[in-house]
């Protein structure tokens, strides 16, 4: 995963009843989730841009026909 080195889990005490342990696996999972979110957002933006370009091409075609 991260080469030969594995970090020891990091324990974070939030309050008396909540303790969070951060491991390499949780960091990788969080990273993968964020990457997936960004890819989905980028794909959505690409689809919107393509739709806009199609609409622009349609409008340009209408202008050229009317000229």
Decide which of 30 and 53 is more confident: 53
Range of the domain at 40: 10-66
Do the strands 19-22 and 10-13 form a parallel or antiparallel pair, or are they unpaired?
Answer: antiparallel
Please, which pLDDT band fits residue 67 given cuts at 50, 70 and 90? low
How many domains, the chain? 1
Q: Which residues of 31-40 are buried (b: 16+ CB within 10 A; e: fewer)?
A: eeeeeeeeee
**pLDDT tens-digit readout, 2-39:** 555 567 777 778 787 777 777 878 888 888 999 999 99
- What pLDDT does residue 51 have? 98
The answer as to whether 31 is a domain residue is: yes
Q: CB-based contacts of 34: which residues, under 8 Å, 6+ apart?
A: none
**Residue 3 within any structural domain of the chain:** no
């Amino acid at each position: 995963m991260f080469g030969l080195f594995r970090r020891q889990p990091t324990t974070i005490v939030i309050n008396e009843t909540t303790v969070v342990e951060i491991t390499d696996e949780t960091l990788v999972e969080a990273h993968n989730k964020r990457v997936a979110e960004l890819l989905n957002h980028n794909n959505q933006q690409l689809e919107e841009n393509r739709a806009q370009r199609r609409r622009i091409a349609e409008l340009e075609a209408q202008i050229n026909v009317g000229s």
